[in-house]
Structure 1
Amino acid sequence: MRSSAFRAALGLAAAVALSGGGLAAAAPALAADDAPLTVAITGENRVDLSLQGDNGDATEPQVTLRLAAPGSDEPGDDGVIPVVHQGDYKIKIDATGLKGVAKVKLPCEASGLTAECAGYEINAGEDYNRLGGIRLDVNSESAAGDFGSIKVTGEGEGVDFTPLTTDVLVGGPEFLGHKLAEPKGFKAGDTYEAPVGFRNVGGMAADGAVLRFHGSRGLSFPDSYGNCAYKATTDGPLLRRGTDAICTFPGTYEAGKAYALAEPLKVKTADFALYDIVNYGFSAVAPAKAKALLDGDGYTPGTGAPLTLKEATGTAPADYTRYAELDLPSTTTYDLVLTGASAKGAAGSTVKAEIGFRNDGPGWLSALRSGGEPIAFTVEVPEGATVTKAADRCNSTTIEEGVKGYLCWVSTPLLEDAELTFPFELRIDKVVKGAKGKVALPTWENPNEPEQSNNTAWIVLNGTDDGQSAGGSSDGGASASPSPSAGGDTSGSSGTSGNSGSSGGDSGDQGSGSGGGLALTGAGGMLLIGGIAVVVLGLGAAVVLVMRRRAA
């Protein structure tokens, strides 16, 4: 039985030895003449095992072993990855250094804590030379500060293998973040004072700590601290816009103790904010390495006094979580509006109809949890008419029994002032006075959109009162045309931008509303708005499912 002093000394040595990390060496250069081919054995150099038992999916390895050979992973003109070595070789895995430290599952021909992988061909590059994975877990013998290594070597005629060493530390410093909760009555425009802090649930003290926090597009951080650096992403895909920050803290943070910022972290919400995400996490990083994190990669140093940590009292282990995050505010509303179109024409003529879709705010539809799932609405074809050209991102479908039409998609995130048009062309086969086709979003109880009377509009052909019978605004109404011609720019988008030219989409192109998800046909679409999902069943009814999930 190892003594506690031995464990402590070994743990300290392990912490020093594991100050670096990352992947093994990159692929070497090509061999010259008859020199052996140099091939690197790659994989993780370091694995930290938690005594809390949260070491990832038990079926997934923490170390994936590969062979990195000279040359490219890309196939040649013949579609084949070149073979750079032929001949028997063996890769030997020795995990005996983890006896009494951790539970080990090895690939290939394994016997206890050793294994051997045999092969004959080695391809260029690394992707196609996978040997297998190593899974590590704590067991009844594991204790804080236990340390060991896995040695991976290789041998073969005409090939020189660069070995790999994977160091394993059990029960090192491990930080859980203080939970966050939305205050009662919180609304857009308010500032949230986040109780940011951590508890060291690992088995060893940490020499230094690093805080990383993030706020999505509708959130900002009004304070600037001298020991922090900030990066604002204001362009590109909406899903990735927001502010990131890194703060460093010197000092010793003891195992089993909790710490908190000396003052709450202020999070300012924009007037349009709705289900925006703030999250943070602490990690144990030595001061010398932490300082390097503040430099480069687009971060700008803070200008104020440093942010500090203090020991927290009166907290309980249940107050801390591995994923410290919050969606706020949750009460902002938005107003989706559909506008119809009307036209007159003789039998045989083709008319244009532009369906309008806009968000009158004040909130945006972030859809951050659903990853940009689109919003769907249906378009019925008026009696006596045939659609000769539908708007992009609109697909023919059966709306309900006996009713043909189209299912149209609007990408999310959707800006607070988004405005789109969906141009259709219809041939009037038979003049039917006041023929109407319904344009509608699903009807469902949604506290973030209390006004839903404008979620329905109409396409009216040969009506007596074009403006009113179309429903909604008659702006951009239909017009007769003797021949099929485009009713607007329909290239590569789910609709054409209207007055504001702003829509959603993970593509970052706010003028098209395209991007983020595939165009779907038929029933079974899903509408996700601000943490609530609407599953469209047969496109005639909607089932509301409240979704709350842990962040990735």
Structure 2
Amino acid sequence: MIRKLAAGVAGLVLAALAAPLPAFAAPPPDGVTVDFDHLSLVPEVRGSLQAAGLDLGRKPRLLHDLTATIDTSGLAGVATVRRAFADDQDGCTFTDALITCAEGTVTTVWTNFVTLSYQPVPGAVAGAEGSATLRITSRELGTLTKTAKVVLTQEAELAVPGEQGQAFDVEPGDTVAMAMSISNPGTVPVTGVDAFFDIDARLAAVKKYSNCWYGTRRAYCHFDQTLEPGRTYDAAEKPVLRISPEIPAPYVFESFLAWQTPADSRDYVDIVMAQDAKKGDAGTLKLVARAATAKAALPQTAGPAGERVFFEVHGKQTANVTAVGAELTGEVGDTVTARLGLKNLGPSMLISYNPAAEAAVIIPAGTTVTKSPEECEGSGSYYVCRIPTWRAETFTDKGESVTWPFTLRIDRAGPLTGWVTVKENLIYLAQPPETNTTDNTADILIGRPVRNTATPGGTTPGGTTPGGTTPDGDGGGSGGEGGGGTLPITGANAAVIGVAGALLIAGGVVAFLVTRRRKSRFEA
């Protein structure tokens, strides 16, 4: 059945691969990325459209004096640039080789300053190359810069032979050998080709080749060989991939294998290399021709060719999500920091594209939140925190904690008690739900003041007592900064926990995460 599924989606592959991959490029610490793709243009045939944009990540941010400038002086003799749409961003001005877009003060998640149309200069020939540079400034961001290379290319063709799909039946910890084949159905030789494929917490490369680069979520191999017209080529050996022993089961997921010419693949290469990619050292992976080859020289463009790779994991294992609370001490007027959240006890990882699990936090009465994490939504005594997802699946490994720091001011003497209740988000969960929910609630306990001559005032911000979480998120199921235990839940306490459960259910339906408005790439 899974093979029928693979064949059924084959027609969707090229459309899916034609769009840029999710931007897994390592962003600045605050999650900001600049959208400004490299371009390939075919002389006398077609140009391309390009969006110049700014992506701020998950949540809106206030920016002052936001301005974008695009310097196109590096395109002389290669391409001309104009506004793609007559009504697109009237705030942009075009003067000689400089485009200026003044946004002013905005609150935004994603901004498309302008969409540009690039056309080859009449008479320019394949092989000519230029560049354009986008600079974005604001008070908050300073200056961000990205340069897009624009190259004139020869038109070529690529295609994946056969069913354009692979499927594997596996169990946790299994290895599989992935076939790699590519054809040139066109009339001109294709000089060099790049192959891109997934690697992540679910899937690891066993052998890493010297002509391949391996990031945290993507990898690619460069083949410095020529694909002759009408010929098909196979990898000399099938790369071996290992399924994580901690993968959920039963579980189905898909990967991909995409092929592009080096001129077209520059954005994809940037994505891989930004993931602190490492070059392999286990020999060169080569393509073996099913027929003789020839040699060509021009940079080329060819629509991406690719196939989906499906994995059906058999077995029975899932994650166990437990709450991480905190036990703190301090005097009235002190501020303390509680790292609250959840921990995955395994045996499997926790996987989701959107938040797979979330925590409802009930702040102890008698305290005031003076600073709350940006991933947590709420106010006063109630917050809902969700695992950040950025633009890809979130993997919470076995033994990994995800905690959020709350800074609390103690307003009256203790003991003061609050709670953390965690729950898997069944709307987005990509695996079997947990079977043990007995450890899904933990205490937030602020006890009576305990004098400590080494810590003035008796506070324990960033506490390190046994069982507590550390700044990198490790910690026990009921621990927190300063450690923690469990109090009986009865009467009014049980009612409050019920409120927490309701918050989680509502939060699963109305997620506060802002979906990225994805950039697009067009051909005109």
The TM-score, its normalising length taken from structure 2, stands at: 0.47
Report which of the two structures shows the higher radius of gyration computed on alpha carbons: 1
Structure with more contact order per residue of length (Cα contacts < 8 Å, sep ≥ 6): 2
What is the TM-score with the length of structure 1 in the denominator? Answer: 0.45
